[in-house]
Amino acid sequence: MQACDILYAMELSGIAYHDIQPVFPTGSLSTINDPLSDVQCYFRRTGATLYITFRGSNSSRDWRHNLTFCKKTVPYDNAQSKIRVHAGFLEAYQSPGVRSVIHSMISPGIAEIRISGHSLGAALAILCGVDLEYNFPDRDYEVAVFGCPRVGNRAFRDSYNKRVFKTLRIENGNDIVTKLPPAVMGYRHVGQSFHIGRIKIPGIVSPKNHEPSAYYKELAERFW
């Protein structure tokens, strides 16, 4: 994943918070705005590449999903699996107006799928990446997430990293959201960590480091 790809993923993740989405000169734009889960997701297709971007938290319902971390659940009803994930994140992603629509967007002409998101959007991007790789394994996947919380347990991390190994998890400074849910509850991060901004200090957290503008600023300074 090149620097320009990471910056573009951050741009899309930041733009996802806007109610009005820009239409770029090339490609097409489709959206999900699910009233049941309050998930917003945007699809931009350029040639054989599909970009999927999830919006982060911007409503009380989003925060209800975020805070349902005391309960972990088995994804997709496989009771024999040791994999457990954040119940609130999975509930949002599995909403009929979200997951089924995403699956319908994977047409035969798509060869590359690029998934991104910030905060809650990052968690949904993680669930989307592993779900699509399992159901559409003949595509090329890259996932870039920003300010991503922990999504599942150790078994989920190990399974995810085998399936979607081209995952970059960008963490800015002492972003508070990247410390949640707590590791002591069995949650683990997925993907390859890429730290930007201030030095990470154990026990120190910063809400300001979590803002999309802070991520873009640090990335721009790093790459330019």
* Token code pair at residue 51: 């970009």
Query: Across residues 108-122, what is the average pLDDT?
Result: 97
Between helix 3-15 and helix 212-223 the angle, nearest 10°, is 160
pLDDT at 68: 59
Largest separation between any pair of C-alpha atoms in the chain: 48
The letter for the amino acid at 38 is: D
pLDDT at 180: 93
pLDDT at 214: 96
CA distances from 222 to 33, 151, 188 (A): 34, 27, 27
Give tens-digit pLDDT for 142-195. Answer: 999 999 999 999 999 999 999 999 999 999 999 999 999 999 999 999 999 999
Give the lowest-confidence range in 14-18, 71-75, 197-201: 71-75
Q: 4 in the Ramachandran plot: left (φ > 0), alpha (ψ -120 to 50) or beta?
A: alpha
pLDDT at 70: 66
Calculate what percentage of the chain has a pLDDT beyond 70. 92
